[in-house]
């Protein structure tokens, strides 16, 4: 399936993705309502946009005590049915990437639904860090492969303290 992929090396931290996502849902520019979040660490000059990866085995879906999360037949996106959602927040605790947020007005959880198959954040990303592509092309496998290749060449081990260059 196609998902929104994220390349942090070209993300400039403009947050267009957050604002456009919020606008397309709520007609407002409230970052808190966005289904995509730019995690910004200025002291290390590092930012990464993170949004739902629509996992093959979504823990949020399995654990939801209201059976409110399901996979969309057309887009394959993992979606929250906000009519069924109790707002218990179990999904927020379940997602290992922290991709689910809370709508304090409607008292339900919210997450990316790929805008029905035409994601808005990708359209507004000014650097091209966000793409809508097949998950096999997702950035992590690309970078992992490249990373490992470079490490092999340089003869380095796998260090937790890898700096970003």
Partner 1 sequence: MEIVIIGNSAAGISALEAFRKYDQTSKVTLISKETDIVYSRVLLPYYLSGKLSQDKMVIRDPDYYSTMQTTIIQNDVVEICEKKKEILLADQQTIAYDRLLIATGSSAVKPPIEGLNHPQIFHMWTLDDVHQIEPLFKAGKRALFLGSGFVSLKAASVATSQGLDVTIYELMPRIMPQMVDDPGAELIEQKMIDSGAKLHVNTATTKVEKKPDGTLVVSAEGKEPLEVDFIIVGTGVRPNISFLVDSKVKVDRGILVNQKMETSVEGIYAAGDVAQGPTTFEEQHQIHALWPTAVEMGKIAGANMSGKSLDYSGSLNMNVSEFFGITAASIGRFIEDDQNEGFVYQEREKDGYLKVVFVQGVPVGGIAVGNPELVPYLGMLRPMIRKKKKIVYPKQKLFQYIHKKMASGSAELV
- Measured CA to CA, the distance from residue 92 to residue 100 in angstroms comes to 5
Torsion of CA 58, 60, 63, 66, to 10 degrees: -120
Q: Does 50 interact with partner 1 (rule: CB under 8 A)?
A: yes
Interface segment toward partner 1; rule CB under 8 A; list 15-23, 43-51, 70-78, 119-127: 43-51
Establish if 135 lies at the interface with partner 1 (CB under 8 A): no
Q: Which of 147, 149, 150, 156 binds partner 1 (CB under 8 A)?
A: 147
* 8 Å CB contact between 133 and 5: yes
- Our finding on whether 150 is near partner 1 (CB under 8 A) is no
Applying CB under 8 A, which part among 21-29, 47-55, 69-77, 115-123 lies near partner 1? 47-55
Q: Is 95 in the site for partner 1 (CB under 8 A)?
A: yes
Q: How far apart are CA 20 and CA 41, in angstroms?
A: 22
* 111 belongs to the binding site for partner 1 (CB under 8 A): no
In degrees and rounded to multiples of 5, residue 97 shows phi and psi of -110, 0
Q: Is 32 in the site for partner 1 (CB under 8 A)?
A: yes
69 neighbors 59 (Cβ within 8 angstroms)? no
């Amino acid at each position: 399936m196609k998902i929104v992929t994220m390349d942090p090396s070209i993300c400039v931290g403009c947050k267009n993705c957050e604002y456009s996502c919020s606008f397309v849902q709520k007609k407002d520019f409230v970052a808190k309502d966005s289904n995509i979040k730019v995690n910004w660490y200025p002291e290390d000059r590092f930012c990464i946009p993170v949004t739902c990866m629509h996992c093959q085995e979504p823990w949020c879906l399995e654990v939801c005590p209201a059976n409110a999360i399901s996979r969309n037949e057309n887009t394959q996106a993992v979606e929250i049915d906000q009519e069924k959602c109790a707002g218990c927040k179990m999904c927020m605790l379940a997602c290992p990437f922290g991709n689910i947020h809370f709508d304090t007005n409607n008292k339900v959880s919210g997450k990316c639904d790929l805008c029905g198959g035409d994601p808005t954040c990708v359209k507004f990303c000014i650097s091209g860090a966000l793409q809508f592509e097949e998950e096999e092309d997702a950035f992590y496998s690309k970078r992992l492969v490249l990373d490992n290749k470079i490490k092999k060449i340089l003869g380095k081990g796998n260090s937790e303290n890898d700096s970003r260059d």
